[in-house]
Structure 1
Amino acid sequence: MTLPPFPVSPARPRTDAGAPAATYALRAGRMFDGFTLSGPVTVHVRRDRVLAVDRTGSVPTGVPLIDLGDHVCLLPGLVDVRAHLAFDAGPDPVGSLAAADDEGLLARMRVAARTALHAGVTTVRDVGDRGFLASALAEQTAADPALGPEILAAGPPITTPGGHGHRLGGETVGPRALVDAVRERHARGCALVTIIASGDVRTPGSDPGRTQYTRGELRTVADEAHRLGLPVAAHAHAAVAIEDALAAGVDSLEHASFLGGHGAVEELRLLALVAGSGTFVSMTPVREPGPYADGVHAAYRALIRLGARFAVGSDAGTTSARPHNSLPSAPLELAALGASPLEALKAVTSQAAALCGLGSRKGRIRAGADADFLAVTGDPLTGLAALRDVRAVFRAGVRIR
């Protein structure tokens, strides 16, 4: 098995004359297209989009060919539905962020974005930053795909005074202020709105088992965001926050840990309600030491068993267990909780793209989709660890590694 003869660099394949090739072909022994496995396959690319998919794996003539090898599987670039590029995955991410000025923080976010991209993550939903810096970085990576993934930025998460995430600057009180906060995020070009519906153990004085906003306040945010065409992600560990956010009409339940409930019967009712609602659950299954881990994973097992609509995010940056290149390990965690290999792969490709509202062009390989690819050794459907054996990454038709 050999890699393509041209140098690995942030450039498209080159013709013999040395000019960038607007059209080229990728050949691999296998392809997971976001839904099914097939192979061999040849994928034709024109600039930043997939032109055609040839499932016979024939060798084309007249265009540059990148033969990735018979033992390589081509996948859509991975979609991380939950990350914080502003956090450094160090021992004190919040303190480190607070100590950085905007210029230094943005420089650090660029490094985080490149780290994710080199792991095969070509789309990131950044669910909370400081000073709308992720929006600035999103513009930079859109102009130069070699800098990082496509970024969907939420801006500072909307939270209560002293509530979880308040160090990011989104403290908001009262219906009028909540509407204004949503409008500000829309005016600044954010792709979504994040609201902190419950506390979190990582914020001193915050209780992950209790709600931060009323159901009416959550509905105010959801209604205004939807009026402006923005989806709403609700950070919800507490069972009561999950139920309130669901009733308010949010688009995704972040974490959905089901903490602080009112007994087994009530929890089963709420689990079934979430699973039957069709609302996306943004799972963060990486196991870390703590008093809640077993309960969270039990809830995830139940949601998977009940057929809930879910994708998986890394929550990258928030702890040392969640570095910015950790998403390829998440499907293994999902499989340990009862997801099939197919469900686990879809949770970081087609289902993740659907959660982000990008299902027509991300998380899949078909004509018209973005030319975002991850090439790995082996068959990820029979061994999810293959996602960590990266052979090549392409973003918007540009080979990154």
Structure 2
Amino acid sequence: MNSFALHAGSMFDGFSLSGPSTVYVSGDRIVRVDRTGALPTDGSQVIDLGRSACLMPGLIDTHVHLAFDAGPDPVTSLASASVSELLVHMRAAARSALLAGVTTVRDLGDPGYLSLTLVEEMSGHPELGPEILAAGPPLTTQGGHCHFFGGEVEGAEALRAAVRERHTRGCAVIKIMASGGHMTPDSVAPHASQYGLADLRVVVDEAHRLGLPVAAHAHGIQAIRDAVEAGVDSLEHVSFLSADGIAPDPDLIDTIVRKGTFVSLTLGLDPAVDLQMSEAKAEFVHALWDIYISLHKYGANVVIGSDAGIGPVKPHNVLPHGVADLARLGVAPLDALISMTSSAARLCRVEGRKGRITAGADADILVVSGNPADDPAAILDVQAVFRAGIRVR
């Protein structure tokens, strides 16, 4: 069994920052954490990463699409690719995320449960990619948003059956398109609801009965309101759209905070890609950021779902750039790190095993240079990545 000790000048354990620390790993688990700063004296193999290094839990991206190629037209690319071609791309996408320090991802939509194929492939080879928490084809209405994934379903009994099928197949989360979206032009408008409160309750009740969380794609105000009332675990995008534009609803924000619903903010952009926006698009983005600022300000449970794969600015290694985005929203860097680690683990129901450095947790460890609690850019200076105790970078 592979055993070693990692020593570095500082450590963020998923909750707080401490000074020189040593993390002991045996096999795929962390077995001990020493915060005294002392080097091992028990003969352990020591990997001394240096005084400037910071140990962190591997990052968790709460919203990705491994089947999308991050190209200019990912939907067309998806439709034209064979299953074998999609799997080749998805393996590369997963590996790209892992090398950036993203050791767990929630895949919230793919065709034919292909993410579960990767889960099976990687079960004995964790070094190939992050742990994948797959949703399979998202639940959507006939011709609805992302219907091309194959998850069209309507009616209470059919919705219950669809949830049960995903549970039986081994999915870790249920994804439902509560509203329309931007990538399916022939479906309802993004602000319009696709499912009403009664249908959302059916899905939530059945998923929770089976022990699965529910992630609701929700741009529209009414869709957000219904999803929160139905008891979903996370709101994806949460854009507060109406037919008249985008604007926060203070009462609804208060309800989100009071009920403890997670908000998975769509953040993280590749700065190397020239993001050309029309004036109208720029206004939309600024309004959306105001929404996100309000959600954070009033105490919502914030995590980051990059939506990796949906375009050139969203490659599958983009999540770490979300820390800088949160900083621009006024979120302290330490809180941003928590949102990508321990808070995300709580949402994904892998708390204790992921998103923290503690005895018994998975040995998914990111090592960066500098102090990410002071400087958000430090998270981009990756020194090493360990997945299940195996060094992959």
TM-score by length of 2: 0.94
Match of 1:337 in 2: 329
- Equivalent of 1:48 in 18, 28, 36: 28
Match of 1:101 in 2: 82
- Residue 157 in 1 paired to residue 149 in 2? no
Amino acid in the other structure paired with 1:283: L
Amino acid in the other structure paired with 1:210: A
1:338: Cα distance to partner?
1.7
Q: Is the 8 A contact 1:182 1:221 kept in 2?
A: yes
Offset from partner CA, 1:306-363 (integer Å, 9 cap, x none) = 0001111111001111100000100110111121111111111111111111111111
Cα separation, 2, equivalents of 1:59 and 1:244: 54
Cα separation, 2, equivalents of 1:272 and 1:261: 22
Match of 2:285 in 1: 293
Say which SS state the counterpart of residue 190 (structure 2) adopts: coil
Match of 2:158 in 1: 177
- Residue 274 in 1 paired to residue 266 in 2? no
- Equivalent of 2:362 in 349, 370, 373: 370
Say which SS state the counterpart of residue 249 (structure 2) adopts: helix
Q: Is the 8 A contact 2:240 2:248 kept in 1?
A: no
- Equivalent of 1:199 in 160, 180, 187: 180
User: Where do 1:138-153 residues align within 5 Å?
Assistant: 138-153=119-134
Say which SS state the counterpart of residue 87 (structure 2) adopts: helix
Match of 1:80 in 2: 61
1:262: Cα distance to partner?
8.1
Say which SS state the counterpart of residue 93 (structure 2) adopts: helix
Cα separation, 2, equivalents of 1:360 and 1:339: 24
1:265: Cα distance to partner?
9.6
1:161: Cα distance to partner?
1.3
Match of 2:116 in 1: 135
Match of 1:241 in 2: 223
1:229: Cα distance to partner?
1.1
Amino acid in the other structure paired with 1:42: T
1:261: Cα distance to partner?
7.3
Match of 2:102 in 1: 121
- Residue 22 in 1 paired to residue 2 in 2? yes
1:285: Cα distance to partner?
2.6
Q: Is the 8 A contact 2:179 2:218 kept in 1?
A: yes
**Larger deviation, residues 53-62 vs 238-247:** 53-62
1:286: Cα distance to partner?
3.9
Cα separation, 2, equivalents of 1:378 and 1:183: 46
Q: Is the 8 A contact 2:334 2:372 kept in 1?
A: no
- Residue 59 in 1 paired to residue 25 in 2? no
- Equivalent of 1:398 in 384, 390, 393: 390
Q: Is the 8 A contact 1:239 1:261 kept in 2?
A: no
CA-atom RMSD in angstroms:
1.5
When residues 75 and 266 of structure 1 are mapped into structure 2, their CA distance, relative to the original with a 3 A threshold, is closer
Match of 2:301 in 1: 309
1:162: Cα distance to partner?
1.4
Amino acid in the other structure paired with 1:190: C
Offset from partner CA, 1:222-269 (integer Å, 9 cap, x none) = 111111111110000111000000111111111111111789998111
Q: Is the 8 A contact 1:331 1:347 kept in 2?
A: no
Match of 1:225 in 2: 207
Match of 2:272 in 1: none
Q: Is the 8 A contact 1:240 1:261 kept in 2?
A: no
Q: Is the 8 A contact 2:268 2:319 kept in 1?
A: no
1:44: Cα distance to partner?
0.5
**Larger deviation, residues 290-299 vs 183-192:** 290-299
Where do 4+ consecutive residues of structure 1 move more than 6 Å? 261-266
Amino acid in the other structure paired with 1:39: G
Q: Structure 1 unaligned segments of length 5 or more: list them.
A: 1-20
Cα separation, 2, equivalents of 1:153 and 1:265: 32
Q: Is the 8 A contact 1:141 1:151 kept in 2?
A: no
Cα separation, 2, equivalents of 1:76 and 1:369: 9
TM-score by length of 1: 0.92
1:187: Cα distance to partner?
1.0
Q: Is the 8 A contact 1:157 1:194 kept in 2?
A: yes
Q: What percent of counterpart residues are identical?
A: 56
When residues 160 and 264 of structure 1 are mapped into structure 2, their CA distance, relative to the original with a 3 A threshold, is closer
Q: Structure 2 unaligned segments of length 5 or more: list them.
A: 270-274
Match of 1:14 in 2: none
Cα separation, 2, equivalents of 1:265 and 1:166: 28
- Residue 357 in 1 paired to residue 349 in 2? yes
When residues 398 and 306 of structure 1 are mapped into structure 2, their CA distance, relative to the original with a 3 A threshold, is same
1:284: Cα distance to partner?
0.7
